[in-house]
Amino acid sequence: MKRNISRIVSLVLVASLSVVFLASCGGLKSAYDSYDRTGENYDYDLTEYVAIPEYHGIEIPDISYTPTDEEVADNRVLKQAYFTPEERVNEPCQKYDFIDCAYSCEVEGMNYQPFDSSVDNSRTSVFVGTHSFGVPEIDDAIVGMKPGDEKTVEFTFPEPYLKDLPSSGKSGTFTIKVEHVRRMDFGDDFSGYTDEFVSEHYGFASVAEYDDEIRTQLTHDMELNFENYEVDLTWEYLFDNSLVYKYPGKELNSVRDSVMNAYNERAEGAEMTFDEYVKSLGYKDNADFYDNYLEPYARTYVKEAMILMLIARCEGVTLTDQEYQNELLDYCSYLQITDVETCEKVVKSDFGSVQLFKEQLVMNKARELVAASATKIDAAEYYKNKHDGKYELDQKDMIDFNDPEGAGDILTWVLVGACAAALALIAVLCVKLSKAVKSKKAHEAELAALEEKRRIRREMRRANKKHARRDASSDGEDKGEE
């Protein structure tokens, strides 16, 4: 028993000392301070400039998509429409008409452009009645409009809005003006859509086989909309909840200068003065451009960079030479450039320096690290939590970097808790061992006392017998003399 307890105590003691060592060496602050930021931008203590919340295990919705039978049927009609004669009609549009329209959209007061549109970002064609926009208020409002009609619709994106997840639940206004209505004659019950039709036009043996392809294509197209959504949603959470104490002047000025240089080049290319060019973009003058675009953009960019560089340094995120070279060549692949030296010239032109390009790659790795640690929960639960304000944090929820050991780090608290539990276990085992030792000693003492009593009784019996024999011998001698 004593040997087993001693062995347990030894193992727990080793484990607890290991935990203490990890806790003392693994805090976020110590990790941040050990990061070599020589030659980087933001080469000062970022914890004095920005505060960030715990970034491990950020909750995001578990998103997936499976096409409905209605969506497959609508897409089947669309495939047939491409090979069906059409005519323009001056009538209210109905399901399975095409309309050509101009539109504008604002979401929470900002111009919104993710809807499919042509080069000028204001015109599109809609296949009526097939949920083209994915927003019920908009899709329903279009039905019945005729050429020349204009309508403004207030709407709220569904939750989740699979075509643009970060916009889920946001509200906006949508203004549409119908220019043309194009109608096709699909015949009775779309009878032209046969095995022969899909074989001739799409190369599939049957309608059923092509339906499977439609499902696959719909799934692929929709999933492209929320590809890497983990990065988008975790970043939205981090950016919205991080607090900026102050902005570093050096980096802020650098961003301002870069933007101004780019816009001056555009103005020269358009053969305009800078003032003329910003007015052509809808700003009243230079001051309006500065206040409503340049300064908000610069502050947003610098805040983003400080958050990501802080995380990168806490997590020891670095860029290997091979990773840099691969990313560099990939960046220049659209130019069909395959040598590093030429690519670096392109990067210097686009980013200002190779170092800034490398830092952008490090920040991208930090984003991906945060996204990889996200916790996916049921979508309905996620959006309920969001409405309840669970994901709206304040100062008390920020990581405490003032603790020299980074005690604000949840991992450190876990380690400290494990250490405390181990020490408590040691204390319990020591008490049990002490009791066991005392109990054994007491038992041994009782046995010794009992044995002593037995020895004394044996000695007394021997003495009594000896005295009895001596008395008997004495009596015999007395009788003989008489």
- SS3 state of residue 133: coil
| pLDDT score, position 479 | 37
| Greater model confidence, 139 or 422 | 139
Q: Give the whole-angstrom CA distance, residue 80 versus residue 192.
A: 8
Q: Give the whole-angstrom CA distance, residue 274 versus residue 204.
A: 57
Residue-wise pLDDT tens digits, 298-344: 999 999 999 999 999 999 998 999 999 999 999 999 889 989 999 99
Cα-Cα-Cα-Cα dihedral of 285, 288, 290, 294, to 10°? -110
Whether pLDDT at 8 is above 50:
no
Task: Name the DSSP class of 334.
Answer: G
Count of CB atoms situated within 10 Å of the CB of 16 = 19
Q: Give the whole-angstrom CA distance, residue 218 versus residue 67.
A: 7
The answer, as to whether pTM is greater than 0.85, is no
| pLDDT score, position 17 | 39
Largest Cα–Cα distance in the chain? 167
Rounded to 5 degrees, φ, ψ at 411 are -60, -40
Q: Give the whole-angstrom CA distance, residue 137 versus residue 171.
A: 11
Instruction: State what percent of residues in the chain have pLDDT above 90.
Output: 59
Whether pLDDT at 120 is above 60:
no
Whether pLDDT at 456 is above 60:
no
Closest of 283, 300, 290, 327 to residue 244, by C-alpha: 300
User: CB of 214 within 8 A of CB of 79?
Assistant: yes
Rounded to 5 degrees, φ, ψ at 459 are -65, -40
Whether pLDDT at 227 is above 80:
yes
| pLDDT score, position 188 | 74
Whether pLDDT at 285 is above 50:
yes
Q: Which helix (H) or strand (E) holds 100?
A: strand 98-107
Average pLDDT, rounded, for the chain: 81
- At a CB cut-off of 8 Å and minimum separation 6, what does 218 contact? 67, 71, 72, 75
| pLDDT score, position 25 | 35
408 — pLDDT class (breaks 50, 70, 90): very low
Q: Give the whole-angstrom CA distance, residue 149 versus residue 101.
A: 10
Q: Give the whole-angstrom CA distance, residue 266 versus residue 259.
A: 11
Of the listed ranges 146-150, 337-341, 416-420, the one predicted with least confidence? 416-420
User: CB of 375 within 8 A of CB of 62?
Assistant: no
Cis omega (within 30 of 0) on the bond before 147? no
407 — pLDDT class (breaks 50, 70, 90): very low
Mean pLDDT throughout 106-129?
77
Residue-wise pLDDT tens digits, 21-74: 334 334 566 666 666 667 678 888 899 999 999 999 999 999 999 999 999 999
- At a CB cut-off of 8 Å and minimum separation 6, what does 270 contact? 277, 280
99 — pLDDT class (breaks 50, 70, 90): very high
Residue-wise pLDDT tens digits, 296-307: 999 999 999 999
Whether pLDDT at 410 is above 50:
no
User: CB of 147 within 8 A of CB of 183?
Assistant: no
Residue range 69-225, CATH number: 3.10.50.40
Q: Give the whole-angstrom CA distance, residue 310 versus residue 304.
A: 10
| pLDDT score, position 350 | 83
Domain 34-59+232-394, architecture per CATH: Orthogonal Bundle (1.10)
Rg of the Cα trace of the chain?
A: 40
Of the listed ranges 11-25, 129-143, 382-396, 404-418, the one predicted with least confidence? 11-25
- At a CB cut-off of 8 Å and minimum separation 6, what does 57 contact? 373, 374, 375
Instruction: State what percent of residues in the chain have pLDDT above 70.
Output: 73
